[in-house]
Every structure is written in structure tokens, then in C-alpha cells.
Amino acid sequence: MTNQDFHACIAACNACADACDQCAAACLQETNVQAMARCIALDIDCAQICRMASAYMARNSELANYLCKFCEEVCEACGEECARHQAAHCQRCASACRSCAEECRRMAVKMPGATATQRAEQRQAH
């Protein structure tokens, strides 16, 4: 696959990471920050995995499908938590997380994943 094949998923990952950063920062300004603790923690986790998945796809890593699968799971968890809160920033984040999860789900299916055996064979060939 080429970087063009990853374009929509990379864009969704980057948009999700930005939304999560904005949500976490806004949650820290809420009156009851303690009530937002799980949201903030998941926002941080989600932003980091989204950026990592984006980087793996950008360099066409043979392991990108694994990151996309994990990114999908983290985005789902973050989106569910954010959707529980009525704040506009949480609702925007939940939407971005759902979009990213969908794109990552599509990419994980489309991408060939190197198995442990294939990676060992590649190492032996070099």
C-alpha cells in the first residue's frame, strides 16, 4: 500500500488526536474536574495512539495494521466516555473518535499484516 491509500485514515487519526487534545484541555477547565478524570485520561491515551497510528501509516510500516486495530479500540473507548458528557467539546471529541475508529477498522482490514513467521523470514534474508 502507498501513503495515498492511507490518506483518509491518517487524516481521521490526526483530526481525532487534535479533538482529544482540545477535549482534555477543556475538561481541565470544567467546574468538577474530578468527574472528568476518566475522560481526560482516555483523551490523552487516544491522542497518543492516533498520532502513533498515523506515523506508522505515513511510513508504510508493515506493522501499521496492528496499530490501526488497537487505535480503533482506544477510539471506541474514548468516544463512549466522551459521549456520556454533555459538554460540546466532549460531543465533538466523541464524533471524531467514532470517525477515526471507523477509518481504522477499514484500514486494518485492507492492510496486509506481517506475521511473526514472515518477519523472521525477512530478518534471515538480510
CATH number for position 16: 1.20.1270.360
Give the pLDDT of residue 12.
98
* Between 114 and 109, residue with greater pLDDT: 109
Alpha-carbon distances of 61 from 39, 54, 77, 80, 93, rounded to whole Å? 30, 10, 25, 29, 27
Using pLDDT thresholds of 50, 70 and 90, give the confidence band for residue 125.
Answer: low
- pLDDT-based confidence at 5, cuts 50/70/90? confident
For range 81-108, the mean pLDDT: 96
User: Whole domain around residue 55: which residue ranges?
Assistant: 3-125
Distance between CA atoms of residues 58 and 68, nearest Å = 12
Q: How far is CA 108 from CA 8, 27, 70, 78, 123, in A?
A: 13, 31, 9, 19, 24
Residue 94 has pLDDT above 80, yes or no: yes
Determine the pLDDT at residue 24. Answer: 98
Does the structure show a pLDDT above 50 at 54? Answer: yes
Q: Cα Rg for the chain, rounded, in angstroms?
A: 16
Counted domains in the chain: 1
Q: Could you tell me the CA-to-CA distances from 11 to 7, 38, 51, 61 in Å, in that order?
A: 6, 25, 10, 17
- Model confidence pLDDT, tens digit, residues 59-92: 999 899 999 999 999 999 999 999 999 999 999 9
Task: Give the confidence band of 115 by pLDDT, cuts at 50, 70, 90.
Answer: very low
Tell me the CA end-to-end span of the chain in Å, nearest whole number: 22
Cα–Cα dist 124/86, whole Å: 54
The overall average pLDDT reported for the chain is 89
- Cβ neighbours, 10 Å, residue 23: 32
* pLDDT at res. 108: 82
